[in-house]
């Protein structure tokens, strides 16, 4: 839609301040436009979406008196082209106006709401009432004719539209026609449609302009698989007990198996040299034995720091070969940015001011009481912020030059948020397609702020939300206002997290939590070994015993293949099916379309996702999940059929995408699921 001529009421610009120095309140405008949503921190920070993802824009728009008011969303693309999108009043009593917009490419867009007086709407309303009552009939018809003359004079109409307007103008004045026919010409549906597409807009008043950052689809949607590269291809000599490390080249041999399960991103824990000083041994012991590889999160040694690859893993050329192989298989590679320096990291010698020196002259190691990390020196961002900021940015440039476009950040909540805002924005100037995932299991304010200042994705509390009610409450929060800046990534376990639910829930828990993670949110991930249900915890801790952070693991993947001694003991086929469902059903790619439905059993969760596709067809998925891994539940679920695009009395074929079973469902349905059965139904809605 091209920009339209309009009669605007413009208040003079002002930069006046009050006596206290505070700015004068912003003028409200002739047509008040209030409570614009979405607006991240009142518009101080950008609203986020990905290409083609709908943005639901709304505002309260009203005016004095009884004249008709209307509203538009004015969208400006990265090149400055402007589009006007009509809004609909969805709640006349509260003057709430809404519209849905979507961007067709990445970049920094913007939007604002314009409220305006609608002269045609005012006339149409008054004329319909007065003419029917025989009040001022000729006057109302003449005013309508003059209004349409304004249309013809002020708007650059297409020939067919101009003919429609001039014909209606003539009919309104044709006294040989019946009054009803004359009025009908001015109120025809064709003319009403034209006034929506090309309205006359008087006393236009605009809201402030809101930044809208549109990113690539992977910023919202993806299935991640985490590996320690040194474990892929590692093996232990049964006679000597010595380990041979895996390398980036042997890790590349594992990629076809990961791709076959349908994962989109393979995420590597840090691949840099590991410190020798204070190196940790197995299970985080303080003394490393000969052959212990240490934690890859204790970064830096005489072999280098963040710009180097651990020599035992290979070289940057080997990394590039790994990345290229992943891309051949349809996956992207994510690298781990862990700003943790080992005591022998080169920066400790060259820039001791970047660390915290204690009263006894020693450099403070990392602590998260009661945990201590003697093999790590945390960075201090206060002594030389400019130097440290630029050093991190320089190190990252090496990664980007080697094709990395996804960064998982370890513990970003322990670094200044302004640092992340600067770093992410600076990287985006050269590499706008880079995606950042925040591993911040911390207070809500910090998690939300990290998302607001630039992180595209965020780890969440999912691992600790196990009951149906708390999952619903949490996901409704994530799918609400938070979804305009924070994109959740659900991980049932990580290399640091093994909750009691997973320790004791058995295979039912592992299937249930993977299925919920894969369907509740667009991005989810698993840590290697999930398919083997590695559930033994270190005593007194919520993490695995014999943690892979401190030692090699040879999972002997071939043993679980057909014909192997452990065939049938892996969840790989189940994970494969989950990812197939995700790839086949675009409704699961979005977050804001999540809707919950009622169940009679408090341990059963039911939700749906619905999406209209480009060809006009609909993809509708209903998920029913038991949240108790120890029992089988039978209960009624109650579907809000309108949310599924169905009529209140309509029934449909419920096709279970996990088992292939089909049932005839309607508003109320009986389900059975849990231990001993499938714990989750992922149902495609098929109309009869």
Positions marked catalytic: 410, 439
Please report where in the chains the tokens 């999972």 appear, as a residue: 555
Assess contact for 328 and 266: CB atoms under 8 A: no
H or E element in which residue 154 lies: helix 137-154
Strand bridging mode 457-459 / 488-490: parallel
557-563-567-570 Cα dihedral, nearest 10 degrees: 40
Q: Are 418 and 392 in contact (CB under 8 A)?
A: no
**What is the C-alpha to C-alpha distance for residues 179 and 171, in angstroms, rounded to an integer?**
10
For residue 182, count CB atoms less than 10 angstroms from its CB and return exposed for 0-12, middle for 13-18, buried for 19 or more.
Answer: buried
Query: Coil, strand, or helix at residue 476?
Result: helix
Burial of 210 (0-12, 13-18, 19+ CB in 10 A): buried
**Contact indicator for 491, 527 with CB cutoff of 8 Å:** yes
Instruction: Of 582, 606, 585, give the one whose Cα is nearest residue 594.
Output: 606
d(CA 158, CA 165): 11
CB 251 within 8 A of CB 227: yes
State whether residue 105 is helix, strand or coil: coil
Contact yes or no for 55/49 (Cβ under 8 A): yes
What are the residues facing 340 on neighbouring strands? 378
357 DSSP assignment: B
Considering only CA atoms, which of 647, 650, 574, 644 is closest in space to residue 611? Answer: 644
Angle 204-208-213 from CA coordinates, rounded to 5°: 125
Are 87 and 71 contacting, i.e. CB atoms less than 8 angstroms apart?
yes
- Within 13 A of 92's CA, how many CA atoms are on the CB side? 3
């Amino acid at each position: 839609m091209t920009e339209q001529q309009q009669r605007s009421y413009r208040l003079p610009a002002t930069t006046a301040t009050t006596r206290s120095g505070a700015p004068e309140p912003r003028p409200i405008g002739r047509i008040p436009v209030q409570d614009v949503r979405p607006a991240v921190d009142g518009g101080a920070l950008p609203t986020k979406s990905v290409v083609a993802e709908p943005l639901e824009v709304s505002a309260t728009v009203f005016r004095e008196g009884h004249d008709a008011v209307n509203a538009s969303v004015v969208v400006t693309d990265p090149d400055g082209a402007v589009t006007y999108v009509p809004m609909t009043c969805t709640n006349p009593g509260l003057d709430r106006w809404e519209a849905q917009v979507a961007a067709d490419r990445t970049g920094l867009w913007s939007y604002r709401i314009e409220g305006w007086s609608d002269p045609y709407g005012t006339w149409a309303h008054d004329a319909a009432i007065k003419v029917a009552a025989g009040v001022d009939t000729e006057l109302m018809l003449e005013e309508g004719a003059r209004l349409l003359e304004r249309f013809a004079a002020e708007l650059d109409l297409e020939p067919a539209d101009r003919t429609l307007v001039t014909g209606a103008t003539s009919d309104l004045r044709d006294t040989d026609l019946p009054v009803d026919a004359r009025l009908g010409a001015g109120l025809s549906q064709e003319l009403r449609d034209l006034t929506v597409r090309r309205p006359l807009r008087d006393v236009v008043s605009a809201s402030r302009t809101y930044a809208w950052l549109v990113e690539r689809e992977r910023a919202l949607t993806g299935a991640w698989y985490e590996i320690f590269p040194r474990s892929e291809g590692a093996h232990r000599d049964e006679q000597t007990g010595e380990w041979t490390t895996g390398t980036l080249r042997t890790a590349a041999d594992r990629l076809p198996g990961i791709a076959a399960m349908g994962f989109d991103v393979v995420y590597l824990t840090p691949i840099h040299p590991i410190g020798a000083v204070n190196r940790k041994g197995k299970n985080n012991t303080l003394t490393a034995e000969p052959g212990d590889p240490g934690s890859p999160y204790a970064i830096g040694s005489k072999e280098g720091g963040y710009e180097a690859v651990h020599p035992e893993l290979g070289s940057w050329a080997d990394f590039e070969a790994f990345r290229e192989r992943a891309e051949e298989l349809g996956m992207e590679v994510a690298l781990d940015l862990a700003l943790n320096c080992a005591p022998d990291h080169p920066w400790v010698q060259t820039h001791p001011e970047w660390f915290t020196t204690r009263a006894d002259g020693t450099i403070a190691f990392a602590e998260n009481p009661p945990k201590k990390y003697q093999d790590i020196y945390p960075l201090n961002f206060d002594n030389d912020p400019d130097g440290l900021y630029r050093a991190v940015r320089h190190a990252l440039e090496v990664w980007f030059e080697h094709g990395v476009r996804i960064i998982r950040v370890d513990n970003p909540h322990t670094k200044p948020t302004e640092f992340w805002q600067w770093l992410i924005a600076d990287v985006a100037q050269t590499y706008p397609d880079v995606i950042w995932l925040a591993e911040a299991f911390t207070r809500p304010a910090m998690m939300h702020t990290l998302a607001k200042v630039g992180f595209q994705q965020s780890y969440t509390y999912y691992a600790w939300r196990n009951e149906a009610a708390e999952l619903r409450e949490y996901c409704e929060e994530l799918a609400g206002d938070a979804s305009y800046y924070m994109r959740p990534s659900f991980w049932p376990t990580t290399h640091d997290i093994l909750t009691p639910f997973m320790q004791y829930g058995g295979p039912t828990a592992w299937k249930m939590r993977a299925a919920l993670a894969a369907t509740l949110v667009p991005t989810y991930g698993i840590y290697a070994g999930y398919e083997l249900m590695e559930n033994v915890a270190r005593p007194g801790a919520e993490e695995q015993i014999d943690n892979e952070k401190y030692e090699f693991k040879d999972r002997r993947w071939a043993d679980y293949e057909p014909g192997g001694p452990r065939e049938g003991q892996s969840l790989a086929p189940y994970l494969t099916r989950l990812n197939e469902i995700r790839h086949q059903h675009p409704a699961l790619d979005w977050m804001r379309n999540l809707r919950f439905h009622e169940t009679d059993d408090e341990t059963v969760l039911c939700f749906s996702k619905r999406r209209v596709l480009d060809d006009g067809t609909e993809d509708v998925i209903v998920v029913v999940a038991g949240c108790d891994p120890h029992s089988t539940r039978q209960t009624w679920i109650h579907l809000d059929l309108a949310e599924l695009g169905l009529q209140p009395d309509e029934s449909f074929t419920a096709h279970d995408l996990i088992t292939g079973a089909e049932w005839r469902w309607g508003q109320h349905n009986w389900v059975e699921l849990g231990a001993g059965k499938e714990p989750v139904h992922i149902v495609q809605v098929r109309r009869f």
